[in-house]
Amino acid sequence: MIKDRKYQVSDYERIMDFLREMYLQTGKQHCWLPQRWEYAEYNCNSLYVNRGWEDWKNYIRIWEDNGKIVAIAHKESGYEVFMQIRPTYEFLADEMLDYLETTVPLERHGDECELWLYINDSKRWIEKKLINRGYFKNDECCYYNYQKLTGNFKPELPEGYRFVDGTEITDKKSRYLCCHLGFHPSDEPNILPSTDFNMEYAPMFNPKFEIMTQDKDGNLCSFCVVWYDDKLKIGMFEPVCTRINYRMKGLGKQMLIEGLRRLKDIGAEKAYVESFGDSRRAFYNSAGFITYDSDYPWRKKF
């Protein structure tokens, strides 16, 4: 009695519950966390739509067994795609791949199109299938990192810096610019895009967990958001960045420790963060995060 259908807005909470069930079933993040889905909806999707790509909700497809969600295939950007599959339903993979390859718009490089399918390295059962379909594994990957909140977290900022958060820094543009310039240091926008920073409207968003560092002149130096799911008692850091002129001072690491401290104070048991590439992985490891899995893009040209 397995049926597939397009996503509907009323499915949002059902998907969040599905992701929570998957987390509890596997014990770690072997598919998206609920926070990751919420961040994609309230932040990433807004950014990509602003750049001219279609709303990701138009490409979410759900598989159900007697009304129970067992798998989800979806994109995030124009060419990055994901599959969330409940254990014992791996036989749906071919059908899901057929859907993604024929439906999701692909990034074009000259006369070629390309699809990037992110798959956990622990899911070795699918690798032969992907190779037979013409996919090849990327050299760099996204690492999954976690930390149990059992330590005594005491952040120590350099002299002249302090922590602030969204309850104190209420100016939306200054917060946006700190985050934007942390990732794009040479691309200072003249105006604040109307679709950016929609994440402050997300159900899990808490301005006390929009943590920043500030220098003695009032400049915002580093930025992160911590998403807390009180049902699973886990937190997730996304995004995390430091502006280029303030790097190598330890601000980003101490900001992470402050986020971990705040999570522990409200009863969280674990924290998660994803990191693309070895240098970012090393940064999170330096703050006590342990890498337990990786998420490789498998690429296919059309």
> pLDDT tens digits for 152-202?
999 999 999 999 999 999 988 889 889 989 998 887 666 565 555 688 899
* Count of CB atoms situated within 10 Å of the CB of 140: 11
E strands, 202-289, are 210-214, 220-229, 234-242, 270-276
* Segments in 78-225 forming alpha helices (H): 93-103, 127-132, 172-183
Which residues are CB-contacts of 102 (< 8 A; sequence separation ≥ 6)? none
Q: Which residue has the higher pLDDT, 31 or 287?
A: 287
pLDDT of residue 31: 80
Q: Residue 261 is encoded by which pair of tokens?
A: 């401290």
The pLDDT tens digits for 208-265 are 999 999 999 999 999 999 999 999 999 999 999 999 999 999 999 999 999 999 999 9
Residue type, 297: P
- Residues in Cβ contact with 128 at an 8 Å cutoff, skipping those fewer than 6 apart: none
- The model's confidence at residue 29, banded by pLDDT at 50, 70 and 90, is low
Query: How many angstroms separate the CA atoms of 87 and 34, rounded?
Result: 17
Question: Measured between alpha carbons, how far is 145 from 288 in angstroms, rounded to an integer?
Answer: 9
- Compute the distance between CA of residue 233 and CA of residue 110 in angstroms, rounded to an integer: 46
- How confident is the model at residue 190, as a pLDDT? 61
Read off the pTM: 0.94
Average pLDDT over residues 102-117: 87
Using an 8 Å Cβ cutoff, are 258 and 291 in contact? Answer: no
Domains and CATH numbers, the chain: 2-142+297-301 (3.40.630.30), 150-268 (3.40.630.30)
* 74 bridge partner residues: 82
> Is the pLDDT reported for residue 98 higher than 90?
yes
- Which whole number is the average pLDDT over 51-75? 95
